[in-house]
Amino acid sequence: MSYTLDAETMKSLQTAQKNEITEYHIYLKLASYIKDEHNSKILQQIARDEHRHYHELKKFTGTEKKPHTWKVYFYTLIAMIFGITFGIKLMEKGEEGSEKLYRELGDSLEEFKRIAVEEDNHEKELVAIIEEERLKFVGSMVLGLNDALVELTGTLAGLTFALKNTRLIALAGLITGVAASLSMAASEYLSTRTEQENARALKSSLYTGGAYIFTVACLVLPYLIFANYVVSLVFTIVAAILIILVFTFYISVAKDLSFKERFLEMAGISLGVAVVSFIIGYLIRLFLGVDI
C-alpha cells in the first residue's frame, strides 16, 4: 500500500479490529435473544456492518483477532437487564477512541473515511429506530422517581426531628409513600387515557407507580435498619443521591442527554426540599411543644 502506517497506529488499528469483532458477536447474540423481529433485523444489520469493518481492518493489520469474551457476555447481560438501547450506547461510548482513529486516517485513506461515516451515522440511525418499550415510558418513570424523591425525602426529613423515633418515622413514611404512589399511578392513568388507548395508559401508570414504590422502599429502608434517627436520615439522603446518580446516568446514556446538568438539577431540588422540610419539622415540634 502506498500509505505507510506507523507502529503506534498499527497497534491502535489492531485494538479497533478486536473491538469490531467483539461488537459483531455482541450484536449477533442480542439479535438471537430478541423476540421482536423488527429489532432483531436491525441488530443483525449492525452486526454485518461490524463484521465487514473487521475484515477491512484485517487488510491493513494482516492479523486475525478474537473477540473479548468477557465484553460479549457483559454487554449482552447489561442490554438484557437495562434495555438494548442503553447497552449498545454504553458500549459505543467505550469505543469512541476507534471512531476518532477512523476519522483521522480517513483524511488519507478512503476506506477509513467510509468506516468513520458508518460508525458515526449509520449505526446511530439504526439504534435510533429500535423500538423499546421501557424507553417509551421513561417520562412516566421520571415522574414517579422525581415525585417520590422530592416528596418523601422532604417528608422523612421533616418527620425525623418531629418524631425522633425511627419506627414511627418509617411507619409514617411507608403510609405516605404507598398512598402517594397509588395516587400518582391513578393520576397518570387518567391523564394519559385521554390521549392514548387504555392499555398504554395502564402501562404508563404502572411504570409511574412502580418507580415511586421502588424509591419509597429505598428511602424508608434506613429507618428500619438503624435505631438512630440522625444516622437513618443521613443514609436516606445518601440513598436519594445514589438513586438520582444511577437513574440520571441511565437516562443520559439511553437518551444522549447531559449527565451533569440533569444530576445537579434533580439532586439540588430533592436535597433543597429535604433541608427546608427538616427545618420546618424542627420548628413545628418546638412550636407545638411535642416531645416523643
Q: CATH code for 7-131?
A: 1.20.1260
Residues sharing a CB contact under 8 Å with residue 254, sequence separation 6 or more, in sequence order = 83, 85, 86, 89, 135, 138
Show the cell assigned to 162.
418531629
231 band by pLDDT with thresholds 50, 70 and 90 = very high
Q: pTM of this prediction?
A: 0.69
Q: Which three cell numbers stand for residue 4?
A: 505507510
Contacts by 197-200, CB closer than 8 A, 24 or more apart = none
What cell numbers appear for 62 in the block?
A: 494482516
pLDDT digits (tens, 9 = 90+) for 238-272: 998 888 888 888 878 877 777 888 888 878 887 78
Spatial distance between the Cα atoms of 40 and 132, rounded to a whole number of angstroms: 12
Contact 158, 278 (CB under 8 A): yes
Q: Would you place residue 149 in the very low, low, confident or very high pLDDT band (cuts 50, 70, 90)?
A: confident
Q: What is the Cα Rg of the chain in Å? A: 25
Q: Judge whether residue 122 has pLDDT over 90.
A: no
Domain ranges of the chain: 7-131, 137-288
